[in-house]
Structure 1
């Protein structure tokens, strides 16, 4: 039985392909599953990219990775390849994670263990060796009242253990309504002659 591939060997093969696709290789995991292996690869958009990772992009890079792994014979024996993007529940630990989450509601855990909840307004990247998160604290409103918004706080990334994006159900409805309005405007514009 061939030895299972190490994550580093898989990373060495796939990282150039992921970079060429304009993506970032988040993580590689190789797990033994009986007589076969599962190769899990997480990819994400680059730090300054806008929007979310498109499923077509994931499918394209997945095909390229599959072919490269087969050609390099890095994973011995049968294997299942899983290529995905990190979900909204992932821990934000690096500057690029926070940069991609600008505008989102989140909870930070500082290195001293204290939490801070608010909207990430910006990531100040002017210092060459550090970043500062600019977060506007928000306390949820009681019984349908609007949230209480505080004064923006600057938190050095070095003082943050991790952050978690919060899913805002109310904002999902706002975004959906805006998209419906845009689609209606586009449809109306297309009907004018």
Structure 2
């Protein structure tokens, strides 16, 4: 699928909708293949928020973007809209990416070829601070990605999670008579 330059009318329409949802526009792609047009929008939480973008937020901004893009005359009316969040496989390329991943284990390759995997403990003045390595200038990092830690997930207790559908204590088990 060919990635085309994002038409200004699409970019101008997407930005304000994402901003009004209190999200950050991480990426905007415009893909065209034959008669098929895809507008792919990637959103993230702003720096001051922790956690991940909720499915509810994705759905809400998706609905608003769809309404807004339907009014863009230069966009093929049969376009497909895809809205997502970056996920853990996203490369960390900006200071805000590092800030959003404080406390996570990060696999880092420096410009000089050095490679290490350490916990990110702070981000200050365009520097990433790692647990034992200390301060590393973000501009000296060639590639960085979050390492998924399954052992940390296993160590989590039920109290670490929020029940979004209601409390489990309200549920009863069926009994056999």
Closer, same or farther in 2 for the Cα pair 1:187/1:76, shift >3 Å? closer
Shift of 1:35: 1.2
Contact 2:4 2:32 in 1 (8 A): no
Trace 1:58-73 onto structure 2 (pairs within 5 A). 58-73=58-73
Q: Which runs of 5+ in 1 are unaligned?
A: 126-130, 137-150, 189-193
Aligned length: 163
Q: Which residue of 2 aligns with 1:128?
A: none
Trace 1:93-132 onto structure 2 (pairs within 5 A). 93-125=93-125, 131-132=126-127
Q: Which residue of 1 aligns with 2:152?
A: 171
Q: Which residue of 2 aligns with 1:54?
A: 54
Q: Which residue of 2 aligns with 1:25?
A: 25
Closer, same or farther in 2 for the Cα pair 1:27/1:187, shift >3 Å? closer
Q: CA RMSD in A?
A: 2.2
Matched, 1:159 2:140: yes
Q: Which residue of 2 aligns with 1:7?
A: 6
Shift of 1:176: 4.6
Q: Which residue of 2 aligns with 1:145?
A: none
Contact 1:108 1:163 in 2 (8 A): yes
Shift of 1:178: 4.4
Structure 1 segments (4+ residues) deviating >3 Å? none
